Amino acid sequence: MLGRTHISFGLGLGAGGIVCFNAMTNTPLNGTDLGILYGAVALGSLLPDIDEPNSLLGKKTLGVSNLIQSIFGHRGFTHSLCFVVLLGILLLLLGALDKNLWNEIPFVAEFAKAFGGIIQAQNIEIFGIGLLLGCIFHLIGDMMTLSGVPLLLPFTSRKFH
């Protein structure tokens, strides 16, 4: 899939998720929270392709992207559930630290500028949930292709479709 397809797919699934969230919790998100959530879903839907230097996100992080590709290859570790779990743990650890540290992470700071300056403490959880959802939606999208994804890496390299 292309980057724009991943974003569209992620935002489409994310919109359905927001409707379900609002219906189940009876607490609609305000405009800022929705913007942060949708932006994070869009960013998360690109994140697994950081292992491809020619991807939308890979072009922004060329050195990191080349390093990840040389170690794991494309559609390797970053396309597994283990990556999603480790990202979730990292987000939890970052969330437990000083809230201002979030604004020191380059891609988060760039993302935050689009939403008025900084990620505030009350929005960190929304950002993290959106990022994880976007990654999961990316994997679901790639599972719909003929190549599939190795969901259970490092335990098995079997591709799931």
Structural domain of 67: 3-143
Q: Report how many domains make up the chain.
A: 1
| Mean pLDDT score, 85-90 | 92
Residue 152 lies in a domain: no
Tell me the pLDDT tens digit for each residue of 97-106: 666 666 666 6
CA 56-102-92 angle, 5° bins:
95
Residue 150 lies in a domain: no
Residue 154 lies in a domain: no
Residue 161 lies in a domain: no
Six-digit token string for 106: 């380059």
| Mean pLDDT score, 76-105 | 80
Residue 98 lies in a domain: yes
Residue 70 lies in a domain: yes
Whether pTM > 0.85 for this model: the answer is: no
Residue 160 lies in a domain: no
Tell me the pLDDT tens digit for each residue of 117-131: 556 666 777 888 888
**Residue % of the chain over a pLDDT of 90:** 14
Residue 110 lies in a domain: yes
pLDDT tier at 33, thresholds 50, 70, 90: confident
- Asked if 45 and 10 count as a contact pair (C-beta separation under 8 A), the reply is yes
The sign one gets for the Cα dihedral 12, 108, 94, 99 is: negative
